[in-house]
Structure 1
């Protein structure tokens, strides 16, 4: 076996509408087909790839059952356009330049406070 890329991220949320709106409006993902599961959810796509699976829940796990995931990231193009969109929408973010790998990272938080970063080739 050889893993070649991350397929998708599954996020449990009590705010499925707000999360769907954020990922479509801020990251430009689109709502797409999803199997007819017995629980609520939305699959969000870039092109033909479902990269975010949102699962609607009534409540999140109790204290002590915290997820240990620090962040997830997407590679993208159009850094300047993306930063302009974030500023226009009033979304807080910070930029980090990683010169050793020629990468610019834009760090932000979704409505559930998940850390997301978008990676761009520096100076594109």
Structure 2
């Protein structure tokens, strides 16, 4: 498997407008197209790539009841068969999702802290 890029980071926030302004003003991103999800949010772009996905939430829990702010991040990669074999050989738990509508196979894994990462491969590579 060869990772080729970080696809995006998905962040939950109670301060959606403030986050949009910060990413645009501080990092030079711009608000761009986003699918019509049934929840508030924004996709923030650098050139033609949506690097940051923001999800607006009503309120955040505190302490041990708090959800992770970072829901997942994703890499684009090549070498699906080699990587899947590597996961199996090493006993790494994963979930395979085939998204035929966008020509993508995702292999979802979780790091030791429980952070969700999906590695995206083109279907039929």
TM-score, scaled relative to structure 1: 0.51
Partner in structure 2 of residue 78 of structure 1? 79
Runs of 4+ in 1 over 4 A off after TM superposition: none
String of CA shifts for 1:27-73, please: whole Å, max 9, x gaps.
xxxxxxxxxxxxxxxxxxxxxxxxxxxxxxxxxx8324432332111
Q: What does residue range 9-88 of structure 1 map to in structure 2 within 5 Å? A: 62-88=63-89
Q: Which runs of 5+ in 1 are unaligned?
A: 8-60
Q: Which runs of 5+ in 2 are unaligned?
A: 1-28, 31-44, 53-61
Equivalent residue pairs, number: 71
Aligned counterparts of 1:66 and 1:92: Cα–Cα separation in 2: 22
Q: CA RMSD in A?
A: 2.0
Structure whose alpha-carbon radius of gyration is higher? 2
Partner in structure 1 of residue 121 of structure 2? 120
Comparing both chains, which one has the higher relative contact order based on Cα–Cα distances under 8 Å and sequence gaps of 6 or more? Answer: 2
Aligned counterparts of 1:65 and 1:100: Cα–Cα separation in 2: 33
Aligned counterparts of 2:74 and 2:66: Cα–Cα separation in 1: 23
